[in-house]
A and B are shown apart, each in its own frame.
Chain A
Amino acid sequence: MAVPKRKMSRSNTRSRRAQWKTSAVHLVACSNKACRAPKPQHIACPTCGQYDGRQVVQPA
């Protein structure tokens, strides 16, 4: 079985981990004029539960 020959330095480890980045979720305003809460696109609004003017889910 292949095993590492050398211990990985703290510097190398941290350099690698420095590349782990997150990206912000793309949010749009809800199309319901009474709501306007930010929500992910193409998804029923979690705040008011509407999508395309239609009540789809019960808001939590």
Chain B
Amino acid sequence: MPTPTKGPRLGGSPAHERLMLANLATALFTHGRITTTEAKAKRLRPYAEKLISKAKVGDLHNRREILKVIRDKDVVHKLFAEIGPFFVDRNGGYTRITKTLARKGDNAPMAVIELVQQKLVTTEAEAARKTKFAKDEKAAAPAAVESDAESDSSAKVVDQDAEAPESATKDAAKDPAEGADEAPKAEDKKDES
């Protein structure tokens, strides 16, 4: 059972709270980073991350579930096409809240909530080393090429730094290419924000 939120609703009534959270989530996915009050940011974080988790699954059912909340189809498309795939390797913690100076006028504590733009440290390391860590490799290794995989993997382990046989270099070259495609994207996003 989900834990009920403590304290009063945002905006006064349950309906108003639903609308506020939906609007905040829409704004967050549109702009990637929004400045809001600390209380709203804290309530938005689990709400937005659950939507991203749904987007990562990427099927029609989840798209309809998200459309219940976010009524802007462009934003939903962005969520499925860009935001979801970007967070493939990250298990939760898609957003970051940083507190900022209190608002002038009513001294309300403010915060910046943003989608995390960096890739995981392990992903970057794998891209740099042009290999995969042992635990990731097991999951990634396809079952179809079991016989080939054995010889390949043994060759890879031996010749990681030295000159590898052709089959191993091919495999190794494939991995960084995937990482390289994603890495510049992340940098672009950083520049925009």
Residues of A bordering B, CB below 8 Å: 40, 42-44, 46, 51-52, 54, 56-57
Minimum distance in angstroms from A49 CB to a CB of chain B? 9
Which of chain B's residues have a CB closer than 8 A to the CB of A43?
Answer: 99-101
Q: Encode contact with A along B173-191: 1 for CB under 8 Å, 0 otherwise.
A: 0000000000000000000
Is A51 a contact of B101 with CB atoms below 8 Å? no
* Interchain pairs with CB closer than 8 A, number: 21
What count of chain B residues pass the 8 Å CB interface test?
6
0/1 per residue, B29-69, Cβ < 8 Å to A? 00000010000000000000000000000000000000000
Q: 7 smallest A-B Cβ distances: which pairs?
A: A56-B98, A44-B100, A43-B99, A51-B98, A46-B101, A44-B98, A57-B100
B86-130 interface with A by 8 A CB criterion? 98-101, 112
Closest to B109 in A: A43
A44-B98, A52-B98, A54-B98 provided; 9 other pairs, C-beta below 8 A? Answer: A43-B101, A44-B100, A44-B101, A44-B112, A46-B101, A51-B98, A56-B98, A56-B100, A57-B100
- B window 68-86: CB within 8 A of A: none
Q: How far is the CA of A57 from the CA of B98 in the complex (A)?
A: 9
- Which B residue's beta carbon lies closest to that of A49? B100
Cα of A28 to Cα of B112 in the assembled complex, Å: 20
**Residue pair A56, B101 in contact (C-beta under 8 Å):** no
Measured in the bound complex, the distance between the Cα atoms of B109 and A43 in whole Å is 10
Instruction: Please give, as numbers and ranges, the residues of chain A lying within 8 Å of B99 by CB-CB distance.
Output: 42-44
Complex CA gap A30/B10 in Å reads 33
Query: What is the CA–CA distance of A3 and B24 in the complex, to the nearest angstrom?
Result: 48
A42 to B98, CA, bound (A): 8
| C-alpha gap A56/B100 in the complex (Å) | 9
